[in-house]
Amino acid sequence: MSKRSWVDSLQEMVTRLERGPESRLKAGKKRPLRFAVVGIGHELRGDDAAGLVVAQRLRPSAHQHLLIVEAGHAPENHTGLLRRFNPDMVILIDCALLNEPPGAIGWLPWQETTGLSASSHTMPPYMLARYLTAELNTQVVLIGIQPANTELGAPLSLQIEEAVQEIVGVVGGSLGSVNSRQ
């Protein structure tokens, strides 16, 4: 896992997509980029709800080129919606054991996360990412948040609340203005 800033990694990926393939050409003009943010987690398991809370707070930022999905603990149930939306990039947000202090945020190469999870999803994020990459020909990224407490009935911890706010600010700001730069 890279120690590089998740914010830098997100901005680099978005820039790469903006300069991206000519396959986005439509009538001589590039079609706008489409992004999907998928919040993963279980609302009854404390900090495991972090991805879900990010999605809930980003929902007001949704627009025709930004899909926000509150996927809960079974994100695979939303693949039909993602297929119809046809995003250029899917951002999966979930809590993950990063071996960092609670609230740490990490940019995780999903291919390297086969054993990495802090929650009990029906399908691990790396399997969902593999499926989306193959089926939708899209870029998939995983942003993980180190939990403090995932006990049943626990509230979102203060550290995770701060991480959620940071992600909402960065992701909402970065993706909200992408197509206005094109």
Q: Is the residue at 163 inside a domain?
A: yes
User: Domain containing 115: what range?
Assistant: 33-174
Do 75 and 117 contact (CB within 8 A), yes or no? no
* Per-residue tokens: 109: 């190469």
Number of domains within the chain: 1
Phi, psi dihedrals of residue 116, rounded to the nearest 5°: -105, 115
**pLDDT at site 1:** 41
Q: Is the residue at 53 inside a domain?
A: yes
Alpha-carbon span 33 to 67, nearest angstrom: 11
Q: Is the pTM of this model over 0.75?
A: yes
**pLDDT at site 93:** 95
**pLDDT at site 162:** 97
CATH number at residue 123: 3.40.50.1450
Q: Is the residue at 27 inside a domain?
A: no
What string of H, E and C letters represents the secondary structure of the chain? CCCCCHHHHHHHHHHHHHCCCHHHEECCEECCCCEEEEEECCCCCHHHHHHHHHHHHHHHHCECCEEEEEEECCHHHHHHHHHHHCCCEEEEEEECCCCCCCCCEEEECHHHCCCCCCCCCCCCHHHHHHHHHHHHCCEEEEEEECCCCCCCCCCCCHHHHHHHHHHHHHHHHHHHCCCCCC
Q: Is the residue at 116 inside a domain?
A: yes
Q: Is the residue at 111 inside a domain?
A: yes
Q: Looking at this protein, which amino acid is placed at residue 62?
A: A
**pLDDT at site 52:** 95
Do 43 and 49 contact (CB within 8 A), yes or no? yes
Q: Is the residue at 48 inside a domain?
A: yes
* Regions of the chain short of the pLDDT cut 50: 1-3, 116-119, 182
Cα 19 off chain centre by: 21
Q: Is the residue at 64 inside a domain?
A: yes
Give the pairing of strands 35-40 and 89-95: parallel
**pLDDT at site 38:** 95
